[in-house]
Amino acid sequence: MRYFITFSYDGTRFHGWQIQPNGISVQEVLEESLTKILRAGPITVVGAGRTDASVHAREMVAHFDWPDEAGVLDGPQLVYRLNRLLPRDVSVSRVEQVSPDLHARFSATRRTYHYYIHTAKDPFLRHYSLELHYALDFELMNQAAALLFDYEDFGSFCKSHSDAKTTLCKIYAARWHQLSPTSWYFEIAANRFLRNMVRAVVGTLIEVGRHRMTLSQFREVIERGSRTAAGESMPGHALFLERVEYS
C-alpha cells in the first residue's frame, strides 16, 4: 500500500529536503519519525521535489510504501502521532492511502512557488523575505515574466553541473504581486522546475526591474541556454514551495 503525506516546514535550520551527510534535512527527520512510530523497519519517503537549504514549504507531498500484511494505517491517528514527535518546524496535515502507481514526484502535474521581497527594514520579515534597497520597475518585470510563456527550455536558469536529464519545463503562471506598499512576491507555477531555477529567474527579473537588462536582453538570456547569461541566484530563505498538485 502506498501513502501520501502532506506537510509543511520552516526551512531555516535545514540543509534542504534531501538527506545528505553535511547537515540535517527534512527528509531525515520525517523518515526517523515514521520509523519510530510504525516500528516496521526503516521507512523511506520520496518527496515531490528537492528544496534547497533554507527554502520553506507551505505544502510538500511525499509518499512511502507499507506492506499489505501489516494492515491499513489510520491516517488521522498517524498525523496526530507524527505532529507529537516531529520538531516544531515541521507539521503534517494529512496522511492518505493512494493508488500504488501514484508517485509523489513523477505524478505531480503542477508545482507553485512564491518568492518574497521587501524594500523597507522589517524585523519580522527577515527570515522569510529578501530585503532590497533599490527601486524596482514591477510593471517591466511583469512584462519580462510574461516572456517565459513563450519558451519551454530553461537551461539558462538551471544550476551548473545539474544532474537534470532535460531542461524542458511548462510554465503555467509567472507574475509579481504586491502585498503592501513595500512588499511583493513573485508567483511561478510549472509542471516541473530545474535546480535553482526559481531563484535564478527572480535574480534575472530583478536585473530587468533595475533597468540593467532590457526585455530583448531577457529574451536573449533564455534563448542562449547558458547559466552564465542569467542573473544571480537569490537567497533561499525568501522562497516558499506553496503547493503541489496532482491530476
What's residue 162's pLDDT? 59
52 given a catalytic annotation = yes
The answer, yes or no, to whether residue 163 has pLDDT greater than 80, is: no
Mean pLDDT of 110-129: 97
Q: How many residues does the chain have?
A: 247
Give the pLDDT mean for 74-92: 98
Given a cut of 60, whether residue 36 has pLDDT beyond it is: yes
Strand partners, 131: 118
| 169-190 pLDDT, tens digit each | 999 999 999 999 999 999 999 9
The arithmetic mean of pLDDT across residues 7-11, rounded, is 98
pLDDT of residue 49: 93
pLDDT more than 90, % of the chain: 91
Single out the catalytic residue among 52, 65, 101, 163.
Answer: 52
Res 239: pLDDT? 98
| Residues 201-225 pLDDT 10s | 999 999 999 999 999 999 999 999 8
- Model confidence pLDDT, tens digit, residues 11-23: 999 999 999 888 9
Q: Band the pLDDT of 40: cuts 50, 70, 90.
A: confident
pTM: 0.95
- Position 122: which residue type? D
Query: Does residue 165 carry a pLDDT above 90?
Result: no
Mean pLDDT of the chain: 95
